[in-house]
Structure 1
Amino acid sequence: MSDTGTSTVIKMGGLGKQFVKDDLGIVALRDFDLEIAEGSFVTVLGRSGCGKSTMLNLLAGLTPPTWGSVAYRGEPVDGPRTEMGYLTQSDTLMPWRDVRRNVELPMEIGGMPAARRRERAAELIGKVGLDGFEKHYPRELSGGMRRRVSLARMLAGDPETLLMDEPFGALDAQLRGDLQAELLRLWTESGQTVVFVTHDIEEALLLGDRVVVLGRVGRIVLDRAIELPRPRDADELRVDPHFVALHRELTEALREGAR
């Protein structure tokens, strides 16, 4: 499914991945089909072990599919692409670089002149609310602040599409809420495409304009447009009858996917 009237930026067809462990083939994803429209915010919801992270790694070009295909703007994805930024669950900041130099890294790799790198890094650090922390090292920051640095570093590569694998899962509810709001603000300003993986129903509904619910080995149980008005406030949403009905529908889809 893709939104009518907008172009498809990502297309996965018949996608599958098998890993070999102790001479046994373990299928993590089977016959997975998904199209994603440009500029959309798609949340992929599923329980642990359903193939969400495998799907994202295939989409990012970090691992080759066993069968099927991944295309980005009609071109096969056979390795990482600069058009896609990837924010993983784990902290991948370089401990020996301060905040500014961590954010500068993608621009440095891309050959951007030093003065322009510093200027752009300062702008992004401000965007994620970390002004004044440019000279701090990752070990001196809280978990939430490190996530902000990781977000700024991903944006520094100027990607068209953001791939996010449960990026706020390890944070407390307040911090998670702050970063969700930050991400939505950045997405609204940029028009980027976002594929956001989560196991949290409320997060999927708060962020996405489309939710894809996965069952075992990546079976799509539900593919649902979310027509809740934006901006969305979590506290107000919880008492919205439409939200409550969607929450119930997604809960049932997750149950079905586990069968």
Structure 2
Amino acid sequence: MTSVLKTRKLHKQFVKDDQGIVALRDFDLDVEQGGFVSVLGRSGCGKSTMLNLLAGLTTPTSGEVLYRDEPVTKPRIEVGYLTQSDTLMPWRTVRRNIEMPMELRGVPSSARRERADELIERVGLGGFDRHYPRELSGGMRRRVSLARMLACDPETLLMDEPFGALDAQLRHDLQKELLRLWQGSGQTVVFVTHDIEEALLLGDRVVVLGRLGRVVLDETVDLPRPRDPDESRVDPRFVSLHRKMTDALREGAR
């Protein structure tokens, strides 16, 4: 398989109060085209730093990030990024928020509207196209953010705990929605989470990070799709993998 994203000896250090704080050290990762990689780790292990580096939003202290063997020095149009926080524009309607990345790229208004309407239906927001973010629930705003990320058909999706603030049932619904949108698309996904079950239900590969981004475990998830949470929880393979991830997180915290 072709590697879309690669990191080589990636190191990131921040300066705070005249002291250097290391977030990542010698981090290596290869992400194959069309794969769904869950990056699992506790808070403070460098997951978000890693994702910002992959997205080209920050530059490494040393080492490199490659996208299709080209150095990543700034955001790329082929890569979509869904952050933890709500970044919708409050003065724009649902449709206008989804249209925004296309507008920035000079897509004609008729094409923008057609694409936005298609995505509104795909993420289950039909009839809410003229609503403003303040008029939507948290789950609906996440759907709008997901649609906006998909608006320009990025070939790679970076997702930083996008459903972490939602209740369990809504998180489950959006997980299924994400998989429905991804399967058969050919898109590559790097999905950051601290939740073992989410990592296993979504990913076909789980990379467990320890402190400073140390890769503790890189495991293929051979569970059949589609994966129903209730059925998966009692699958012996799921139980075994869950135990393995739990042990890896404990090791990574040492």
Matches within 5 A, 1:19-168: 19-168=14-163
1:101 aligned counterpart, secondary structure: helix
Kindly provide the amino acid, as one letter, of the partner of residue 253 in structure 1: A
Point out 4+ residue stretches in structure 1 off by more than 2 angstroms.
Answer: none
Cα deviation, residue 50, structure 1:
0.1
* TM-score (ref. length: structure 2): 1.00
Q: 1:215 aligns with which of 210, 214, 235?
A: 210
CA distance in 2 between counterparts of 1:85 and 1:230 reads 24
Q: Partner of 2:168 in structure 1? A: 173
Kindly provide the amino acid, as one letter, of the partner of residue 210 in structure 2: G
Identity %: 78
Cα deviation, residue 37, structure 1:
0.3
Kindly provide the amino acid, as one letter, of the partner of residue 51 in structure 1: G
Cα deviation, residue 75, structure 1:
0.4
CA distance in 1 between counterparts of 2:234 and 2:226 reads 15
Q: Partner of 2:223 in structure 1? A: 228
CA distance in 1 between counterparts of 2:13 and 2:39 reads 20
CA distance in 2 between counterparts of 1:148 and 1:168 reads 10
2:159 aligned counterpart, secondary structure: strand
CA distance in 1 between counterparts of 2:36 and 2:45 reads 21
Cα deviation, residue 189, structure 1:
3.1
Q: Partner of 2:187 in structure 1? A: 192
- Give 5+ residue unaligned stretches, structure 1: 1-5
Matches within 5 A, 1:234-245: 234-245=229-240
RMSD after superposition:
0.4
Cα deviation, residue 191, structure 1:
1.3
CA distance in 1 between counterparts of 2:24 and 2:183 reads 31
- Give 5+ residue unaligned stretches, structure 2: none
CA distance in 2 between counterparts of 1:201 and 1:143 reads 23
* TM-score (ref. length: structure 1): 0.98
Q: Partner of 2:10 in structure 1? A: 15
Q: Partner of 1:3 in structure 2? A: none
Cα deviation, residue 158, structure 1:
1.3
Q: Partner of 2:252 in structure 1? A: 257
CA distance in 2 between counterparts of 1:161 and 1:236 reads 29
CA distance in 1 between counterparts of 2:168 and 2:152 reads 28
Aligned length: 254
CA distance in 1 between counterparts of 2:17 and 2:152 reads 39
1:190 aligned counterpart, secondary structure: coil
CA distance in 2 between counterparts of 1:222 and 1:164 reads 20
For each residue in 1:127-186, what CA deviation from the matched residue of structure 2 results, as whole angstroms up to 9, or x when unmatched?
A: 000000000000000000000000000000210000000000000001000000000011
Kindly provide the amino acid, as one letter, of the partner of residue 183 in structure 1: L
Kindly provide the amino acid, as one letter, of the partner of residue 100 in structure 1: R
